[in-house]
Amino acid sequence: MPYQRFDSSSYELPIHDTAALRAHRKTRLALGYRVFGAVRWGHLGDGHISARDPELTDHFWLGGFGVPFDQMTVDDLVLVGPAGKVVQGHGSINPAAFHIHAPLHAARPDIVSAAHTHTPYGTPFSALVTKLRPITQESCAFYDDHEVFDDHEVDVMSVAGGERIGVALGGAKAVILRNHGLLTVGHTVDETVGFFVAMERSAEAHMKAPGGIAIDHEHAATAYESMGTPQAGWIMFQFLVRTYVPDPAVVG
């Protein structure tokens, strides 16, 4: 059945039933992994996307470690508790996923999701240890709304490392992890993954046009007002799912 047109005004319709909201978040999370897999990210097990549980708010869902991203389903997701143990679902997790995501979810009660993986352009761009400049329309989505984690701990071995990432991130939507790659957060899984893909495209532009002339402040700030909203990230994800996951029912 072909997709119906989507109404972007309804992207944050509240779901008051906890079980329904949990099921919704898990479905979107599995779709997020599918999108990452479709664009050939995470093939070395290098990456993770999280979704906060709506009832146990100090717990979050992750894809089970070892499941190929392009095959992820809701049944492959595991619930991780504050001690880093899987408390629901079958399988294990990448320890770095807990070390990064747990402190971020604790520091940012406003976010539902965080995403990180190693990408062809975001990872090399992170070695420059600098922020994105507004040289493309997509990069304006991060104008004055991302930070740099200038730290040599690329293999995040402890919660303390994740806490430092949280401090660097502050209230922004994204952070560039030095020599490591990109990380985005959001109020929904859709927003988080949509902006992650947009950030990778921005990093690609910087690597291909290192001397690119920046958009001036006035116009970059204006572009941010349309490109940088939670709704904009949500819309990006809808197109990604429709493009890369022809049958969303596969994740159920």
Q: pLDDT 10s digit of each residue in the chain, 252 long?
A: 344 555 544 455 567 789 999 999 999 999 999 999 999 999 998 999 999 999 999 999 999 999 999 999 999 999 999 999 999 999 999 999 999 999 999 999 999 999 999 999 999 999 999 999 999 999 999 999 999 999 998 889 899 999 999 999 999 999 999 999 999 999 999 999 999 999 999 999 999 999 999 999 999 999 999 999 999 999 999 999 999 998 989 998
Element (H, E) at 177: strand 174-177
Q: What's the predicted TM-score (pTM) here?
A: 0.94
Amino acid sitting at position 31: L
User: What is the rounded distance in angstroms from the CA atom of residue 16 to the CA atom of residue 11?
Assistant: 15
For residues 158 and 168, the answer to whether their CB atoms sit within 8 Å is no
Contact between residue 113 and residue 184 where contact means Cβ atoms under 8 Å apart: no
Q: How far apart are CA 32 and CA 38, in angstroms?
A: 10
- Taking a C-beta distance cutoff of 8 angstroms, is the pair 68, 91 a contact? no
CATH code matching the domain that covers 15-251, chosen among 1.20.1600.10, 3.30.70.260, 3.40.30.10, 3.40.225.10: 3.40.225.10
Angle between helices 189-208 and 18-38 (to 10 degrees): 20
Q: Domain residues of the chain, as ranges?
A: 15-251
Angle at 23 between CA 73 and CA 245, to 5 degrees: 40
Q: How far apart are CA 49 and CA 191, in angstroms?
A: 12
Integer Cα distance of 212 and 214 in angstroms = 6
Which DSSP letter does residue 39 get?
Answer: T
| C-alpha 18, offset from chain centre | 23
